[in-house]
């Protein structure tokens, strides 16, 4: 993250850059990427951003991986100071249907992953394991809607608690730039970066061309414009899109392998 900040400063001389943190100590801040209550973390970030004088008139923001949907939560719930352009790289806007894999010697990640997979919709996991709080199982949507307190909220999926402020705030963005990694195997499905999700199994049916018997595909993806949250405009995404303010882009490579594709996006949407 610190290296990325310096790269941005190199191509945008004189720009003020703030790197959001949850804990001031680097090892504790990294731990907060796996353990903690996301709703509380987003609230803390809102306080943090509100105390920075350089940001008081608004700013452009970059969200890397899960940071993207967390920044979107900030826009919907707080947005003071306001975000002008929000660029998200490989973010899980419609959640994930599998807990992200870990690097071979990333023991912190491995412990968190095992715990999350063991009881992803249990109360402890939903309060304390970050990845569990945006896990959206297409085979168990009813339990997800009942147990989840973060993703269901920022996607306004619960009718009785739907918050109109979320839609109003998101629609104030100048640009929402959604970047997908073409070979992403960490985010499942990778199309979550574009507000895509796996359909429930009941929607997997298709006709086998040889036997003409009903069968099931491995998965069927629901694209952004087919999502109920888009069609009924639960979060202001449709309003934003119809104004021409939603941008789909892609980086060739695996998750967070941005190579050089980040530079043109930063030049176009950050600090202008």
> What is the average per-residue pLDDT within 94-100?
85
Q: Which of 60, 137, 184, 241 is the catalytic position? A: 184
Q: 142-156 pLDDT, tens per residue?
A: 999 999 999 999 999
- Between CA 34 and CA 130 the distance in angstroms is 5
Its pTM stands at 0.90
184 is catalytic: yes
Q: Whole-number mean pLDDT of the chain?
A: 91
Of the pLDDT bands very low, low, confident and very high (cuts 50, 70, 90), residue 104 is confident
In the chain, where the domains are located: 2-269
H/E stretch holding 5 reads helix 2-11
47 is catalytic: no
Q: Which of 65, 91, 192, 197 is the catalytic position? A: 65
Three-state secondary structure call for residue 170: helix
18 is catalytic: no
Fold assignment, 2-269: Rossmann fold (3.40.50)
Burial class from Cβ neighbours inside 10 Å (0-12, 13-18, 19+) for residue 151 reads: buried
C-alpha angle 245/10/170, rounded to 5°?
Answer: 20
Yes or no: say if 34 and 108 are a contact pair by the CB < 8 Å rule: yes
> What is the average per-residue pLDDT within 167-192?
97
Q: 210-259 pLDDT, tens per residue?
A: 444 444 456 789 999 999 999 999 999 999 999 999 999 999 999 999 88
DSSP string, 16-50: ------SSSSHHHHHHTTTBS-HHHHHHHHHHHHH
Q: Which of 60, 192, 197, 255 is the catalytic position? A: 255
Name the token pair of 98.
């599998």
Percentage of residues of the chain with pLDDT beyond 90: 79
Return the higher-pLDDT residue of 210 and 135: 135
> What is the average per-residue pLDDT within 59-88?
98
Q: Cα-flanking dihedrals φ and ψ of residue 84, to 5°?
A: -90, -65
């Amino acid at each position: 993250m610190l290296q990325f900040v310096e790269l941005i400063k190199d191509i945008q001389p004189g720009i003020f850059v703030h790197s959001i943190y949850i804990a001031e100590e680097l090892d504790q801040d990294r731990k907060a990427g796996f353990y903690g209550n996301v709703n509380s973390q987003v609230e803390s970030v809102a306080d943090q951003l509100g105390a920075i004088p350089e940001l008081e008139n608004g700013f452009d923001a970059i969200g890397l991986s899960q940071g993207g949907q967390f920044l979107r939560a900030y826009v919907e719930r707080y947005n003071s100071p306001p975000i002008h352009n929000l660029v998200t790289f490989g973010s899980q806007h419609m959640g994930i249907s599998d807990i992200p894999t870990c690097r071979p010697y990333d023991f912190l990640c491995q412990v968190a992953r095992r715990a999350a997979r063991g009881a992803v919709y249990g109360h402890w996991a939903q309060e304390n394991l970050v990845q569990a709080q945006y896990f959206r199982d297409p085979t168990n949507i009813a339990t997800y809607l009942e147990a989840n307190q973060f993703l269901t909220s920022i996607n306004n999926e619960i009718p009785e608690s739907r918050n109109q402020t979320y839609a109003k705030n998101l629609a104030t963005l100048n640009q929402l730039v959604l970047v997908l990694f073409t070979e992403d195997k960490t985010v499942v499905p990778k199309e979550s970066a574009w507000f895509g999700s796996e359909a429930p199994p009941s929607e997997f049916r298709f006709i086998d061309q040889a036997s003409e018997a009903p069968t099931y595909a491995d998965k069927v993806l629901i694209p952004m414009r087919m999502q109920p949250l888009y069609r009924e405009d639960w979060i202001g995404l449709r309003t934003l899109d119809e104004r021409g303010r939603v941008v789909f882009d892609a980086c060739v490579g695996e998750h967070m392998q941005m190579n050089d594709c980040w530079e043109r996006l930063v030049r176009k949407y950050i600090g202008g």
